[in-house]
Every structure is written in structure tokens, then in C-alpha cells.
Amino acid sequence: MALMVTYDEPNVSREDYDAVRAQVGWENAPPMGCLLHMSYFDDAGFHTVDIWNSQAELDAYLAKRFNPALKVLQLPDAAPKAIDLHLVAASPALEKYFLPAAAVD
């Protein structure tokens, strides 16, 4: 079953997040297995909520793309939390947020 992955980092700025996105190439080459990615900032810092198809695909992304990008940018190691989901349902209206590129490893 799919899992929800949350990541909370009080010391990541909007500029840091944009630099990681550029380094990872998220929009041009979405990671295989990531079904949804959302991010936000509040008084406690930076947060993401992702929906992943499997733990194995998340682990591969972290090892091959995300953690190396953090190291290049000299940002702290990520400590995402994964929770198995009971249900994933998406409205057809979500289509307006689809990325044009196909997923890659």
C-alpha cells in the first residue's frame, strides 16, 4: 500500500528548497513512485507531505537523488517520517497539478 511521507525542517529556507528542487530535477524528471508532492512554510519552518507508491521507491529516491542533492548544497540530512496509508483517493480535479514529464528512477 502507499505511504505518506512527511519532512519537517526548521532551518530550510525557500531558497534552499528551490535549490534542492533544481538539483534533483523534480519538475523535469519526477521520481519513480512519488504520486504527490506538496510543500509549505509556516512559523515552525519548512514542511513537505508526499504520497509514495512504496517504501522501496522512496528509499531509492532518497539514496540516488535527494540525499546527494542535500550534500551538494551543504544542507542537513533529511529525516522523513513514513506512515502506511489505509486509503488513497484523488479527485479528477487534481489533474491541473500534473507534471508534464514522465517519472524516472
| Domain-wise residue ranges, the chain | 3-87
Amino acid at 23: Q
Q: Which residues contact 76 (CB under 8 A, 6 or more apart)?
A: 9, 11, 12, 70
Answer yes or no: are the C-beta atoms of 49 and 88 closer than 8 Å.
no
Domain 3-87 has CATH 3.40.190.10: no
pLDDT for 14-31, tens place per residue? 999 999 999 998 888 889
- pLDDT grade for 99, boundaries at 50, 70 and 90: confident
37-61 pLDDT, tens digit per residue, is 999 999 999 999 999 999 999 999 9
pTM of the prediction? Answer: 0.87
In the three-class reduction of DSSP (H, G, I as helix; E, B as strand; rest coil), residue 52 is classed as strand
